[in-house]
Structure 1
Amino acid sequence: MGTVISFLIGNQGDWPDTWPPFGEDDSVGPSKTNTPHTPTERDVLDVKKTLMDHLPLELVDVVLDDAEYWPVLICHNESTPARSIAAMSFPLHNASYCYFISPKVPETSYLDGSRFKVRKILFRICSRDQGWGGDPGLTDPYAGSWTWFEAAIIRGLGGEAFVNEPDAVARQIQGSSVLPPASNAPSDTPDASPGPLQVLHPFNRTRVWMLQRNLRANREEALHEVAWTNADDDSAKKDTNEVLDKSGTGTGYGFVRSLEPGDRIAVYARAQYPGWVNHVRGVEIQIFYSA
């Protein structure tokens, strides 16, 4: 995870004005969230220069990092009405649909050509399940929830900034995978593989990271925010049912550290067992990065 920050923003009717950040029709593109300030690369450089008039460079970097004052790429996919991913009877009882593939993670600074590194990823997911089902004896809000989301890292996928048919593209890629580079490997080592790949989880070697469960048997759309950073906690390598049942959120271990400039982030909507349906209203990804 690095640090995981996850919280349920609200149910339909009491969301903040920042959601939904999109138009009335289905749309894919840069988000128009009403955030107080979205710093650009130039903004960060200007603030850095101002601080350096009063502080040494080492301390300036600490101040900017503590404030998380980094450039950010914000992108989204929204569906109106919500897109429904339904689990059917065997063998279609385990449904998976790639709902969104982000633009490429920014690669190099246009100001000085330095290579970027990802600092934090913020996911915002608006969704619900079918509104009924599950064990009535369960008390934790996400326990027994069989609709959820997973995140993946796609490497080597070129083309346009926004992928218009993410599920079709993802299905072509899923047969290939690559291990994250060793921590001491040079970051510019080229992949031996000829085409796009999904990066493997550094701990469990799957091609996806558990992202967020839906609230169990909830008829109203809910907005969840999940933040993963590059400060991994080695005690949280594995997603445990105890944590998932209470918060619904995956740890994201190794996700941000595995991202390289030029990678893309994919979000999969999942549903398992007949009757379970994942209704997806929208997904937004915010990619924070620095030189």
Structure 2
Amino acid sequence: MASFFSTIGRLLGLAQDEPSRPGWSIPSYEDVCQARASLKALNLPTELVLQILDYAHYWPQYEYVSNFRQPKVAAAQGGRPSHATLCADMDALNNTTVEEVLRYGETCKIKSVEFNIASLDQAWTSENTHGTFNTSSWLEVSILRKMDHTTTAATGPHLSHMRFSDPCDYHQTVSSQGWSLIKRPQSAKQGPQDGEGDFAWYLQGNRVAVGLDEYRIVWSVEGQEGNEGAGSGEGFLNELTEGDRILVWARAKVSCLFYDGIL
């Protein structure tokens, strides 16, 4: 049994470690344009200007916060070896932050995704894995894409009421509705993801039989940040394109709960 107590995805830039930082630490698109113009006024080459802004992580940002009023329960029952509960469904490149950038003819590319989560495993184990990340309860992330490019959809399929064994099970269901989960590189497999079709990136494992822990995982163009139980996010940012949705799954080989959480 495991509980997952908060999932937050922040797109288009590295999110702040402390939510109490003043507003000026999160630049708007206008702020970025002004900084770019100031650097250009110094007669710096455009390539160097962009490198400076990237080095400073001076990017617009979009924040998504999970908001569940009741726990979401995932339980491996009825002969199913595992269970997947959909915990978050967010639009990657169709939001107010991106819309502002696109109005000025810019091209958007996600530089970084940050997840802040708090999670815990069951309070006991019969194996010699206490305190390790050799776990059977974890979080993972999928990319959902509308395959019919002649139409657009404001939201993804409404299937939160259905039960799924794993993301591959979900993929087989939504494919008849014109949606598809994007496959990760096989080399990005981690933990207990064998034999599940490569439809999700491993995000964070629970420390076995330990209480609530908070985790920060960053997947960026510069690499990955996180602890030894975090996923690498290999290939994730390169796959994201306009219209994609990011799904966060709570996974367990045994019962798990997902609770509401805010930063």
Structure 2 unaligned blocks of 5 or more = 9-17, 188-196
RMSD: 3.7
Is 1:121–2:104 an aligned residue pair? Answer: no
Normalising by structure 2, report the TM-score.
0.71
Mapped partners of 2:117, 2:66: distance in 1: 10
Judging by fraction of residues, say which structure has more strand.
1
Deviation of 1:213 (Å): 0.5
1:112 corresponding residue in structure 2: 104
1:252 corresponding residue in structure 2: 233
Mapped partners of 2:214, 2:186: distance in 1: 28
Deviation of 1:222 (Å): 2.0
Mapped partners of 2:199, 2:125: distance in 1: 29
Return the match for 1:175 from 172, 177, 182.
172
Residues 117, 20 of structure 1: alpha-carbon distance in 2 compared, 3 angstrom cutoff: closer
1:154 corresponding residue in structure 2: 144
Mapped partners of 1:53, 1:66: distance in 2: 19
Structure 1 unaligned blocks of 5 or more = 1-11, 13-18, 22-31, 179-192, 234-243, 285-291
2:30 corresponding residue in structure 1: 42
Return the match for 1:77 from 66, 90, 105.
66
Return the match for 1:206 from 160, 176, 198.
198
Judging by fraction of residues, say which structure has more helix.
2
Secondary structure of 1:155's aligned partner? strand
Residues 207, 172 of structure 1: alpha-carbon distance in 2 compared, 3 angstrom cutoff: closer
Mapped partners of 1:256, 1:279: distance in 2: 25
Normalising by structure 1, report the TM-score.
0.65
Return the match for 2:46 from 54, 57, 62.
57
Letter in 2 for 1:223: E
Please tell me whether the aligned partners of residues 101 and 166 of structure 1 are also in contact (alpha carbons under 8 angstroms): no
2:14 corresponding residue in structure 1: none
Q: Percent identity?
A: 24
Mapped partners of 2:68, 2:180: distance in 1: 27
2:208 corresponding residue in structure 1: 216
Residues 53, 151 of structure 1: alpha-carbon distance in 2 compared, 3 angstrom cutoff: same
Counting matched residue pairs gives 226
Residues 83, 48 of structure 1: alpha-carbon distance in 2 compared, 3 angstrom cutoff: same
Please tell me whether the aligned partners of residues 130 and 210 of structure 2 are also in contact (alpha carbons under 8 angstroms): no
> Residue deviations 1:1-42, cap 9 Å, x none?
xxxxxxxxxxx9xxxxxx999xxxxxxxxxx94344222222
> Residue deviations 1:239-258, cap 9 Å, x none?
xxxxx9x7211111100111
